[in-house]
Chain A
């Protein structure tokens, strides 16, 4: 028996996606940059996916650059936007950004750029007024994720985008966790650069996209052929891109609502058995599938994850990207948790295939271990 509750790390691909990817690998193996029949056959799959991803964001197909996923998208956005900037530009990020945002920014800081980190505080929400106060005349870019990968808190990116637009500052958002799980209309939301990926939404791994608003110019990370309008050279993984496109279309508001209901059911079940389990950022708007729970005193998250794993229950202590490290999570510290609390905090993340029965069982097992 496996109860998979680590969907914020990655998801099980939908069978329909697996079938489409396998068929494309078999029947449309041409290079989608080749102009012959097999190239066009592969190109149809790539371009269909581009239309599907663009439609989900209310963007234009020409604004979508396919790449290898979230880490590449975030690096490309930040390093590309700041490349060749004259003077000493200033960057503003939140204190709970994923490493694929925080570490490129660290590199930029080492190269002489100034960085301001805005912490969200206990609510888990970045305050637009705090970002406004952080802006300087030389600020070149603000980056705040759409939904945090550990707490699930949805950030006010429409407000942040609007204030950046007014100040003439580029605004980037990492939407890897939120894409397709909450509405995002880029015609109405002033985001200039947006990172999305496939494997968090039951699509294949190793594929994602960077949205680059028309008129925004950034430098490519790599030099090579002219793929993706010169923004991302290298032969595209057309079958995986096709799977990404299909996976996007399979995500519906109904599925998100069902996941949110299961999330709340799990938390109620856990609280019934373990009243001292504390849901972090409980009052903030949160993504449908993520719960950050600080367990009662004495329950170390790492040991709990091992114990649950022995019972077939997969969840994580903090985020997978920092799993294996004994350091308390940066995101959890940014919302005000002490080191001890952060090390007692687990993340339960739901996906399309979870059932009420398995959530009920997982809550009982967790409570029994922690009691």
Chain B
């Protein structure tokens, strides 16, 4: 299964959501994208942005000052 990573640490809201959604547009349905964002607003804003466009948030974990959010592209 397609699994890619996208480092958006340091990228502010909502540009991080925009870039994550743009990357998902390039992936196959069902593919997973592991997105790294900063703690705080980015980690709070990205999951609802992904879900609003029909993608699933399947994992969320903290790694130091960042969060890693794993999204599955909508079918």
Contact = CB atoms under 8 A, between A and B. Distances in A.
Interface of A: 32-35, 37, 39-40, 43-44, 46-48, 51, 61-62, 226, 229
Interface stretch (B13-21, B27-35, B62-70): B13-21
A229 B12 CA distance: 8
B1 interface: no
A32 B10 contact: no
Contacts of B21: 40, 44
A51 B19 CA distance: 9
Contacts of A51: 19, 22
Contacts, number: 41
Contacts of B13: 35
A35 B40 CA distance: 13
6 contacts: A35-B41, A39-B14, A48-B22, A51-B19, A51-B22, A62-B10
A203 to B, nearest CB: 19
Contacts of A35: 13-14, 17, 41, 45
Given A35-B17, A40-B49, A47-B15, 20 more contacts: A32-B14, A32-B15, A33-B14, A34-B14, A35-B13, A35-B14, A37-B49, A39-B14, A40-B14, A40-B17, A40-B21, A40-B52, A43-B15, A44-B18, A44-B21, A47-B22, A48-B22, A51-B19, A51-B22, A61-B19
A73 to B, nearest CB: 20
B12 to A, nearest CB: 7
Contacts of A37: 49, 52
Contacts of B18: 32, 40, 43-44, 46-48
A47 B10 contact: no
A24 B54 CA distance: 21
Interface residues of B, number: 15
A265 to B, nearest CB: 40
Residue in B10, B15, B49 with the greatest tally of chain A CB atoms within 10 Å: B15
Residue in A40, A46, A51 with the greatest tally of chain B CB atoms within 10 Å: A40
Contacts of B15: 32, 43, 46-47
A295 B32 CA distance: 64
Ordered nearest first, which 3 A-B pairs have the shortest CB separation?
A43-B18, A47-B18, A44-B18
B12 A43 contact: no
Contact of B22 (A34, A44, A226): A44
Interface string B30-59: 000000000001000100010010000000
B46 to A, nearest CB: 10
